[in-house]
Structure 1
C-alpha cells in the first residue's frame, strides 16, 4: 500500500488548549516539547496490505511546542481536525481522528512522556501521571518514562512528582 498524500484541513475548527502543570519536580527541564498523534478511524476506507492481508490505518503525528507560562505551567494548542477527511484510496472517505497528545520533558538523558488520550481531550478532562524523583536525578538512558497513574505504585511515593495535562476548548 502506498502512503497517501495526506492533506491538511484548510479550515480546522476543533481547537483545544492543552495546559501542562508540573508539581514537585526536583528541578527544571532543558526542553519541553510534544506531539499529537492521529490515525484514520474507519479501516474500511483503507485497502488490505498485499502480503499480510491486514488493514493498516494510516497514521500521522505533528510536533507541538509547549509555551512556558511560568516555572511549572506550559501551554500548547492542538486541532483535532488537523487533517482533511478525503478519499485517499478510492474506497470511501478516510476519517482522521486525534489519538493522543503527549509531552516530552527532557532533563539530561531522561525523557518524561505523559499523555492525554482523545476521550479526555474531547471531554475537556485531564490526565495526571506520577514519576520518580530518582529518575530525574539519575537521568537514565532507557526509553521514555510514561509514569504511572497512581503515586502509590512507587516504593517511595513521597519521592515523586506529577505532570498533569488538561484539555480545554470546544468542538464545533
Structure 2
C-alpha cells in the first residue's frame, strides 16, 4: 500500500490549549514532550494489505511545541482538525480523527507517559495520572541505542502501596477561540 500524501488543513478551526501540571515530582526531568496522535477514523477508505488482508489505517503523530510556564507547568496548543480529509486511495473520503494527545516526562531510561482523550479535550476536561516517586529515583542514565522504558502510571493514587510516595501529571484542555 502506498503511503498517502497527508496534507495539513489550511484553515483549521478547532484549537485547544493543553496544560500539563506536575505535582510533587521528586526532581527535574531531562525532557518534557507532547504530541497529537491522528488516525483515519473510517477504515473503508483504505485498501486491504496484499498478503494479510488487514486494513493498515494511516496514522500521524504531530509534535506539539510546549512552553515552560514554571518548573511544574507546561502549555501547548493543538488543532483537532489539523489534517485534511481526502480520498487518498480512490476508495472514498478518509476522515481524520485525533483520538488523543500524548505527553511524556523523561528522566534517564524512564518515560512517564500520560494522554488525554479527544472527548475530554472537546469537553474542556482534565485527566490525571499518578506515578511512583520510587520509579523516578531508580531511573538510570539512558545508554546509546537503548530505548527508554515507559511507565503509564495509575488512575488513582490509592492504587499504590505507598500512596504518599507518588507524584501526578494532570492534563487540562481549554478551547482557544480564533
TM-score, scaled relative to structure 2: 0.91
Paired with 2:151 and 2:120, the residues of 1 have a C-alpha distance of 21
Q: How does 1:1-172 map to 2 (within 5 A)?
A: 1-139=1-139, 143-169=149-175
CA offsets 1:15-72 (integer angstroms, 9 cap, x no match): 0100010011111212111111100001111111111112121101111222111121
Q: What is the count of residue pairs matched by the alignment?
A: 172
Structure 1 residue runs of 4+, over 2 Å off? none
Paired with 1:143 and 1:26, the residues of 2 have a C-alpha distance of 18
TM-score, scaled relative to structure 1: 0.94
The question of whether the paired residues in 1 share the 8 Å contact of 2:98 and 2:118 is answered with yes
Gaps spanning 5+ residues in structure 1: where? none
Paired with 1:79 and 1:123, the residues of 2 have a C-alpha distance of 15
Paired with 1:27 and 1:99, the residues of 2 have a C-alpha distance of 31
The question of whether the paired residues in 1 share the 8 Å contact of 2:130 and 2:155 is answered with yes
The 3-state SS of whatever aligns with 1:162 is: strand
The 3-state SS of whatever aligns with 1:106 is: strand
The question of whether the paired residues in 1 share the 8 Å contact of 2:114 and 2:169 is answered with yes
Paired with 1:41 and 1:170, the residues of 2 have a C-alpha distance of 24
Q: Which segment is superposed worse, 132-141 or 16-25?
A: 132-141
CA offsets 1:66-107 (integer angstroms, 9 cap, x no match): 211112111000011111111101111110010211111112
